Structure 1
Amino acid sequence: MAGVEKCDPDKIFFVQLADAPLLQQDVLSWSRHHRVFPGEGDFDLVDLLGRLHECGYAGPVSLEIFNDSFRQADVYRTAVDGLRSLRWLEDQTADAVRDAGGEPEREPLVLTDLPAPQTPDDWDFVELRTRELGRVTRLLHQLGFSLAGHHRSKDSVQAWTQGPVRIVVSEDPGATVQPTRLAALGFQVADPDLAAYRAERLLARAVDRAQQPDETVLHGVLAPDGTELFFGPHGNHGVPPWLGEFGADQDDAASGALITGVDHVNLAQPWQHYDEAVLFLTSLLNLHPTSSQEVAGPSGLVRSQVMRSEGNTVRIPLNVAPMAAEQGAFTGAAYPEHVALACSDVVAVARRARRRGLAFLPVPRNYYEDLVARFDLDPEFVAELESHGLLYDRDEHGEFLHFYTATLGEVFVEVVERRGGYEGFGAPNAPVRLAAQYREFGG
């Protein structure tokens, strides 16, 4: 793209844009099957548009997209995704132009800013919606959570807390597809009103949430996969104001709880909406995609890409299951979503959970034999891992110990302990989990 800024703008009549993932394949196949909207691929279109602005181009900018999912998608949804990508690109380019300084010799493209992004400072809450209230609350108790209270105006809505983690459980007796699902994610941001206004400008659909006049206003939008995302205020001493609606007057963050935070939340994405989800989280929450990975599962490779905030306070891995799984090979259950909880001592959490009757996801004996071969670990340490159903990974920065619960509906919980500077997600252990879940659901 170098040199575009030196072009004669009178000789540029029309600009068509497309993004794409960086792939090693012939250009024609790449172009016909893998074009995506700006912000959904790996090209630096902000730099390109900035150079066009610098040369003084002020003509039309359009999109030319070809890919397999685009051809099958709902046309209105595609139009929204395309316009969102252009508004995001325009906003990013305006920021880049200001940072670069200087003015072109002639009137350039008109670039309109969006409201400033409100990057999440932390997780506010996770909401599970279920028709099996007893099973879900029992699981939370087994993991060490305590009932903070019942909502004062919403029937069958509870809040469970441990340390700084808040999990809202709402009973949905009419659920017909899955008995339990991950319904909503709450984020703490500096200015919830501004976050909601930016989401509106980016064409996100608002969540219709009933509330009483004296209750906290929580702005929410629907993500492409239907998950509700809410923007909440920080509150006093880390306690969100909405928690008072459950009769809880303080958080137990300083009580020495073993669970210390939400490490990450994994969302499963339909393959045809994956690119849309990446742009949605990038443009609304200012999350940044990392390099994608592929993990082997019983019905094929599962693509995974992590969306991170600055400082890693919020991490959302997006998983795309093989198409066969979505067509019924797993009846949709082997690729569930999950909440990963950070802890200070995973052995202590596992020991407490086992005493309370937690159903762990079973780990085969040969996994631990393989650990000895891979890492040359002390046999006593491996025996301790096996006795608690823990999995292990290590890199040059540190260690990762974790366990999985059995799956409820389409949700399970992972508890993780990071030691040192380990920043991964235990990807080598994902095939073990997928195979165990496959067996769990009768595969």
Structure 2
Amino acid sequence: MRTGIATVCLSGTLKEKMQACAIAGFDGIEIFEQDLVTSPLSPEDVRKMAADLGFTLDLYQPFRDFDSVPEDLLAANLRRADAKFRLMSRLGMDTMLVCSNVATATIDDDGLRARQLAALAELAGDHGVRVAYEALAWGKYVNDYEHAHRLVEMVDHPNLGTCLDSFHILSRDWDTAPIEDINAEKIFFVQVADAPKLSMDVLSWSRHYRVFPGEGQFELAKFMGHVVRAGYTGPVSLEVFNDVFRQSDVERTAVDAMRSLIWLEEQSAKWLEANAANGAAGTVAGGPPAPARRRYPMELTTLPQVAEPAGFNFAEVKAADTAALETVLGQLGFEFNGRHRTKDVQLWTMGHARVIINEQAPSGSAAPGAAAPAIAALGFDVDSPVIASARAQQLKAPAVPRKSQANEEVFQGFAAPDSTEIFLCQGSPDGTAAWINEFGEPRWFGEGLEVPSGGRSAVIDHVNLAQPWQHFDEAVLFYTSALALEPQPYAEVASPSGLVRSQVMQTSDRAVRLVLNLAPLLQQDGTRHKTYQEHIAFAVDDLVATARSARERGLNFLQIPANYYEDLDARFGLDPAFLATLQELNLLYDRDGDGEFLHFYTATVGSVFFEMVERRGSYDGYGAPNAPVRHAVQYDHLHQLTSSTHSTTH
């Protein structure tokens, strides 16, 4: 599949955009007119630069407001088109996108439109240019791709074809099956974009909220499956209008864009295979099914296939000063299992829940305590780490190898969009980890604490990661494509500093639950502070007993207001003794038709805190009704710390 991207998708100058597209590996690009008009590069410079970078210039766009106009305006439009065709000759480009008219259309007559498009096609032919006519979803008279194609057929000119844009088709819920009936020679160009399902006018939706494939909710694999069945062999190009992408690092966005096309190509191949027996163009109803692996003119490449992760192998927290982390884990009931024999890391376990404390301060940390504790890495159990890693690397995930010595497990690793390191580990049926043997004799680090005996059974239930605003959509695609996690419908949770968008990514059996949060930023004293922390949640069989033991060891719980428990009683009518226990231990509670959920939080250390949970019955959520309480308490605590620091420094 030939890959392409419109320059409008990216931030920066035309030169910067072209360089980024080359780094990401695109086969070609679309030149958006405004990018050329505002560039100091001449058309000849752009043409040479594209050749030097190794990609083609596939489409010049957009040419607007041409059809359905009076004769005097048509003459002006043809003069304008002639100038653009001459410009395209200097660029070495042969295809121009013409959008159905929105602003100047006054005559609703298909015969007139066909004659005007014929005049444009004839002029384009004089310049050796093709015209790809596209139905805008908000076009005044033409807003349906089938209508646009009927006009192309009426004209019947070799230099006039159609452009199929997934957004304009799927945003209007048009049926995509008729694409297969279009003569492939008349499909001059295909553009793809994804989008979340939103209730708003389609123009605003298109101009601000498109995303790359895999980051929204459109059925793009189905759309592409019909395009492939039609016999199309040209570029599949991204056209994404998105305010965030236009403000983000250009190279990083280009790589994310390429990842989305690699993912879409694979998903389209899967769709074709799954639907091979029902719907190939020309198949007679009741006749023999289509071949299981029918070949199409457009070859679709697939990636190494991997199963979803079987579970969390470990979570890693990094800090220059680890004393506070050691104390909290010990108070929760984790056992210290020693230091690694060659690395400055510690291992703490409770059952199958494993936490690595990394004492290697990040580069640039000038002194102990300069790097506050933060989640640094996650390990996942997979069937084949090498194959899973190869897949991730083909999806443009940057590798993060770790040094290892003889008889040490070699972790396959890569970096997530928020810089969290992801390591793929060889899973075992009993949930153990072979690399534990690399840690030496246990030595207790918790000051004034006793080593827990008979540690409780626990597993990592979920991990909650805060995402930078500019990389949230990228993260969703990353975990979907590289780790085979399924995104769930996102939710928004109220916090004192704004709404927190929460996106759950999980495996089908819920063995891995990853919660991505797009958190608001708080403005204080002219500085923007990240107000959302990250956490690791551990599931235990008896949360009340766990909480009592932790309290005896001196754990600093997140203090829950009394008002919460009054509201809890009003909502659920809990047994008074049970409600008193919850309030005594700062436990939170939720219930649905399938079960109950109990949980508590520790105070925050650096940017990390821990959560202990107990799932009763088939409860599958995360205590969402309790999230505003946690946010409010943490916000208040952060505000007090900030105010204290501010007064001390002044």
One-letter amino acid of the structure 2 residue matched with residue 393 of structure 1: D
- Kindly provide the CA deviation profile for residues 263-297 of structure 1, in whole angstroms up to 9, marking residues without a partner as x: 10000011111000000000000001111111110
Whole-Å Cα distance in 1 between the matches of residues 327 and 256 of structure 2? Answer: 40
Q: Structure 2: which 5+ runs fail to align?
A: 1-175, 283-294, 443-452, 641-650
Kindly state the Cα deviation for residue 104 of structure 1 after the two structures are TM-superposed.
Answer: 6.2
Kindly state the Cα deviation for residue 240 of structure 1 after the two structures are TM-superposed.
Answer: 1.6
Q: 1:433 aligns with which of 621, 627, 630?
A: 630
Whole-Å Cα distance in 1 between the matches of residues 322 and 369 of structure 2? Answer: 15
Say whether 1:151 aligns with 2:332. Answer: no
Say whether 1:123 aligns with 2:321. Answer: no
Whole-Å Cα distance in 2 between the matches of residues 378 and 238 of structure 1? Answer: 37
Say whether 1:87 aligns with 2:262. Answer: yes
Whole-Å Cα distance in 1 between the matches of residues 308 and 523 of structure 2? Answer: 34
- Kindly provide the CA deviation profile for residues 375-404 of structure 1, in whole angstroms up to 9, marking residues without a partner as x: 111222111100111001111111110000
Query: What does 1:21-420 correspond to in 2, within 5 Å?
Result: 21-101=196-276, 107-155=296-344, 157-173=345-361, 174=365, 178-235=371-428, 237-247=430-440, 257-324=455-522, 331-332=529-530, 334-420=531-617
Say whether 1:15 aligns with 2:204. Answer: no
2:181 and 2:281 in contact (8 A); partners too: no
Kindly state the Cα deviation for residue 176 of structure 1 after the two structures are TM-superposed.
Answer: 6.9
Whole-Å Cα distance in 2 between the matches of residues 327 and 84 of structure 1? Answer: 39
Whole-Å Cα distance in 1 between the matches of residues 614 and 564 of structure 2? Answer: 19
SS, match of residue 77 in structure 1:
helix
Partner of 1:252: none
The size of the alignment, in residue pairs, is 436
Whole-Å Cα distance in 1 between the matches of residues 525 and 622 of structure 2? Answer: 27
Whole-Å Cα distance in 1 between the matches of residues 526 and 177 of structure 2? Answer: 48
Whole-Å Cα distance in 1 between the matches of residues 376 and 524 of structure 2? Answer: 19
1:18 and 1:63 in contact (8 A); partners too: yes
Q: Over the residues paired in the alignment, what is the CA RMSD in angstroms?
A: 2.0
- Kindly provide the CA deviation profile for residues 329-354 of structure 1, in whole angstroms up to 9, marking residues without a partner as x: 7832x310000100100001100000
One-letter amino acid of the structure 1 residue matched with residue 623 of structure 2: G
Scaled by the length of structure 2, what TM-score is found? 0.65
SS, match of residue 264 in structure 2:
helix
SS, match of residue 431 in structure 2:
coil
Q: 1:422 aligns with which of 614, 619, 631?
A: 619
Whole-Å Cα distance in 2 between the matches of residues 307 and 325 of structure 1? Answer: 29
- Kindly provide the CA deviation profile for residues 306-341 of structure 1, in whole angstroms up to 9, marking residues without a partner as x: 001121110001111124469977832x31000010
Q: Structure 1: which 5+ runs fail to align?
A: 250-254
- Identity percentage over the alignment? 53
Whole-Å Cα distance in 1 between the matches of residues 193 and 369 of structure 2? Answer: 40
SS, match of residue 158 in structure 1:
strand
1:53 and 1:104 in contact (8 A); partners too: no
Partner of 2:151: none
Whole-Å Cα distance in 2 between the matches of residues 69 and 313 of structure 1? Answer: 32
Whole-Å Cα distance in 1 between the matches of residues 566 and 189 of structure 2? Answer: 62
* Structure having the higher Rg: 2
1:178 and 1:410 in contact (8 A); partners too: no
- Kindly provide the CA deviation profile for residues 201-223 of structure 1, in whole angstroms up to 9, marking residues without a partner as x: 01100113111132111011000
One-letter amino acid of the structure 1 residue matched with residue 256 of structure 2: D
One-letter amino acid of the structure 1 residue matched with residue 346 of structure 2: Q
Kindly state the Cα deviation for residue 235 of structure 1 after the two structures are TM-superposed.
Answer: 4.2
